[in-house]
Amino acid sequence: EAQVTQNPRYLITVTGKKLTVTCSQNMNHEYMSWYRQDPGLGLRQIYYSMNVEVTDKGDVPEGYKVSRKEKRNFPLILESPSPNQTSLYFCASSFLWDTEAFFGQGTRLTVV
């Protein structure tokens, strides 16, 4: 089944404790991206990747890192999480940058 898989689905962590949210897609898509969703703000793009080893900042990259060593995986790293990073995070992929996006089920992160 074609899908984007994020893990974990839920995570509660403490301020400053490094964490990684994994994202994997099995559709051989070139373009992958990370978003955060906060009430009343819609989705905001954190980082995106046009292809392997090519990543770029989105609108809200501060406090996040990504890597794209393989086509299928695009992990999101929070080196030192803070409470303002409490949010619902989505990973998405698309065949090309200007085609429809497929979303993972989301990761609800709480930083205390």
Partner 1 sequence: SQQGEEDPQALSIQEGENATMNCSYKTSINNLQWYRQNSGRGLVHLILIRSNEREKHSGRLRVTLDTSKKSSSLLITASRAADTASYFCATMDSNYQLIWGAGTKLIIKP
The SS3 call for residue 85 is helix
| Under rule CB under 8 A, residue 100 binds partner 1 | yes
CA proximity to 33, closest of 82, 96, 83, 85: 96
The interface region with partner 1, picked from 11-19, 21-29, 68-76, 92-100 by CB under 8 A, is 92-100
Torsion of CA 107, 85, 110, 34, to 10 degrees: 0
Torsion-angle region of 13 (φ positive above 0: left; ψ -120 to 50: alpha; else: beta): beta
Rule CB under 8 A: choose which of 23, 34, 90, 93 binds partner 1: 90
Q: According to the binding rule CB under 8 A, does residue 106 interact with partner 1?
A: yes
Contact 58, 47 (CB under 8 A): yes
Q: Restricting to residues 15-74, name those near partner 1 by CB under 8 A.
A: 31, 33, 35, 40-45, 48, 50, 56, 58-59
Q: Which residues bind partner 1 (CB under 8 A)?
A: 31, 33, 35, 40-45, 48, 50, 56, 58-59, 88, 90, 92, 97-106, 108
